Every structure is written in C-alpha cells, then in structure tokens.
Amino acid sequence: MKRLTRILGIALTAALVSVGVASAASLGLTSGKLGAGSTTVSGCTSSSLTATRNVDNSGNVTQLNVLSVPQACAGEVIAATLENSSHTSLGSAVVIVGTCTGGCTVSLTGFGAVSAANVTAYALSLTE
C-alpha cells in the first residue's frame, strides 16, 4: 500500500508539472504575437498602409479607403477606427481583404454619422 501510494504520488506530481509547463508556454506564445504603434509590419505586407476617406456633402465620413494593400493579404481582416484628438473612437469598421491584381484599395464603410472635421487619426490593424 505504501509503495502504491508513493508511485501514484509521483505520477500526480508529474502531471501537475506538465500542466504548469503547458500553461506557461501558452502565455508566452500569446504575449509574443501582439505588435502596436506606428511600426513596420511583417507577414503579407512590409510597411504601414496609408488610408484616405470620402465624405458626403454634409461632411460625414462615408468610407475609409486603405490604399495599396498587397495581394498577399487577401483573406486577412482589416479593422479601422476613426479617432478624435483625444484618441477616442468615433466609429469603427471591419472588412476582409478580397482578391485583386496587384495592390488593392480596400474600402471600409458603416462608421455611422462621423463628421470628418472631428477625425484626427485613423487607427488601423491587420489580423493575419
């Protein structure tokens, strides 16, 4: 009985240690995949992308156009947020990059009634 208890104790300890290692590895991996700021990006594009926006006659943003998105980004997700001078979100939208020849212009719509005069920055992200 004592011997069996000792064996089982070792087995349990080994299992707990394995869980700890797996958890640490998981944390390490997830924290290593987030980049932020005005950075050079890798993957399907090697540079930060430029955006322009269109307005209606009332001066509200009707769509945001992300220019020269590489063909390699097809199927990836672009998210955009219109920000004011306090970096508060005035509206946001998401789109999946379609297929195209060469560089694509990817348009995002559905920001709501956001006055272009209040927009001082675009926060953009590409998830791949």
**Chain positions contacting other proteins, by CB under 8 A:** 1, 4, 8, 11-12, 15-16, 18-19, 22-23, 25-26, 29-30, 33-39, 41-43, 45, 48-59, 67, 115-117, 119-128
- Shortest Å distance, C-beta 36 to other proteins: 5
- Shortest Å distance, C-beta 79 to other proteins: 9
- Shortest Å distance, C-beta 54 to other proteins: 6
Nearer to other proteins, 53 or 111 (CB): 53
Q: What one-letter code names the amino acid at 25?
A: A
Nearer to other proteins, 1 or 99 (CB): 1
Q: At residue 77, what are phi and psi to the nearest 5 degrees?
A: -110, 125
Query: Which region holds residue 10: left if phi is over 0, alpha if psi is between -120 and 50, else beta?
Result: alpha
Nearer to other proteins, 34 or 102 (CB): 34
Nearer to other proteins, 11 or 113 (CB): 11
Q: What does the alpha-carbon distance between residue 101 and residue 97 come to, in Å, rounded to a whole number?
A: 12
Q: What does the alpha-carbon distance between residue 58 and residue 75 come to, in Å, rounded to a whole number?
A: 34
Closest listed residue to residue 123, CA positions, set 15, 51, 20:
51
